Amino acid sequence: MTATLPEAPELSYARTVDRGLVHRDSVGEVFLTDLKPVDDTGYLAGAQLPRSHAYYGDHLLRPSMYDPVLLLEACRQSALAGAHAFYGVPTGHKFILTHLRIHLTRPERIVVGAAPCAMTLRVTVSGHRRREGLTTGLDYDIDIDVRGTVIGRASVGLRFKSPEDYLALRLRNRDGKALPSSDAYPHTGRGGSVEPYRVGRKNSDNVVIDHAAREGATAEALLRVPGDHPSMFDHPQDHLPGMVLAEAARQLALFGALEVHGMSPSRTFPTDLSVVFSRFGELEHATELTAEVGEVLRSDRDAAGAYYTQGGLVELGEDGGEGDRAGVDQLRVRVDARQDGESICLFGLGFSRLGDLG
């Protein structure tokens, strides 16, 4: 059975939303096209994914696929815009990410085709924090629909601070030291020690890990801060953005999958990425990344809509049914990002070694 979204207001894909709603300086980095309220706890968002992009499109995947991190960015933008449009969060407030997750069940639906990919995002607010009548935090669950089929789900957690409260928080985090700016951290060392193909990239400008090494089933690397990168640092930041850390975790996980299991980045597709942020990542501190690479598990679909792995029976979600993948190699990787010996965020990533999705 194919899962579809219920009838809802029609969304427009004619133009992008105001870039200020999604906290972007460049119109080219805005993927959200529309917002429509549904009820007190949810709304719809339209997004269009570009077939070609210098960062999100720079992959070795064959067949060419839309980047799951791009889908997650579109979901993040839907959360940012909805906070302003429907929950009264002032445009000058600072947004703090607490968690992110994306889980894709139908990757064959996001093979890059002859037209840009239009998505419908059904956004449900699962947690609403208030103080003195003002919204201070929102947690979102987001169903991702492509051409009438739900292909996966994302979740986003945001907390909101006035500029004054944010500055006070950051200064406490930094023992009173002035806030830095990513402008002072150009993406030095281009073409460094990690060759782009080993992390699934063509362009070395998009590589954000350095000094990567593997011992047994563990891979380690340092984060390269790409302060002048037009996508990862669309505008100056005083800390490491969550999406930059997500990219670094994905790259180290791919490096580990290649080194430990020989899984080619051109055939290894991320179907799951989750992270909980526990501290701000500081720009001037070294960020050490450690990936624990699991065993490759072979899944086999049965006729009842479930598949078996070496870990046991896994039921397919509501998106299962006709057209699901059979006989897929799956891999789990855990990535910890640390500064000064303390964890700043912890990732869980899932990969599939895909056959022909055509």
Report whether 124 contacts 45 (CB < 8 A): no
pLDDT grade, residue 6 (50/70/90)? low
Distance (Å, whole) CA 181 – CA 157: 24
Mind listing the pLDDT tens digit for each residue in 325-343? Answer: 445 789 999 999 999 999 9
Say yes or no to pLDDT of 142 above 90: yes
Residues in the chain: 358
Does the pLDDT of residue 231 top 70, yes or no? yes
Regarding the domain delimited by 9-176, which CATH topology (the fold level of the hierarchy) does it fall under?
Answer: Thiol Ester Dehydrase; Chain A (3.10.129)
Confidence check: pLDDT of 42 > 80: yes
Q: Do domains 9-176 and 180-358 have the same CATH topology?
A: yes
Residue 322 has which token pair? 């006709």
Task: Say what the pLDDT of residue 356 is.
Answer: 42
- What integer pLDDT is reported at residue 354 of this predicted model? 72
Residue 237: band (very low, low, confident or very high) from pLDDT cuts 50, 70, 90: very high
**Which pLDDT band, with edges at 50, 70 and 90, does 97 fall under?**
very high
pLDDT(317) > 70: no
Assign 2 a pLDDT band (cuts: 50, 70, 90): very low
* Residue 83: HSE in the Cβ half-sphere, 13 Å Cα cutoff: 35
Q: What pLDDT sits at residue 191?
A: 47
- How far are the Cα atoms of 9, 163, 184, 333 from residue 284, in angstroms, in the given order? 46, 22, 10, 27
Residue 207 pLDDT greater than 80, yes or no:
yes
Domain boundaries, the chain: 9-176, 180-358
Q: Mean pLDDT over residues 79-97, rounded?
A: 97
The pLDDT of residue 282 is above 50: yes
For every residue of 283-319, DSSP letters joined together read TTS--EEEEEE---EE-EE-TTSEEEETTEEEE--TT
> Cα separations (Å) of 247 from 11, 45, 56, 274?
30, 24, 10, 12
SS3 at position 257: helix
User: To the nearest 10°, the Cα dihedral for 197, 232, 128, 166?
Assistant: 140
The per-residue pLDDT for 44 is 98
Q: What is the pTM of this model?
A: 0.89
Query: What is the pLDDT, as a whole number, of residue 353?
Result: 85
pLDDT category of residue 318 using cuts at 50, 70 and 90: very low
Strand order in the sheet with 300-301: 300-301, 306-309, 312-315
Tokens 């690397």 label which residue? 221
Strands 209-215 and 312-315: unpaired
User: Alpha helices of the chain — where are they, by DSSP H?
Assistant: 68-87, 163-173, 242-261
**Gap between the Cα atoms of 81 and 84, Å rounded:** 5
Q: What is the pLDDT of residue 106?
A: 93
180-358 placed in CATH 3.10.129.10: yes
- Per-residue confidence band for 88, with pLDDT thresholds at 50, 70 and 90: very high
State how far the Cα of 280 lies from the Cα of 320, in Å rounded to an integer. 37
What is the pLDDT at residue 300?
Answer: 58
DSSP 157-214: EEEEE-HHHHHHHHHHHTTTPPP--GGG----STT-SS-GGGGT-S-GGG--EEEEEE
Least confident stretch, 45-49, 153-157, 220-224, 351-355 = 351-355
Please, which pLDDT band fits residue 130 given cuts at 50, 70 and 90?
Answer: very high
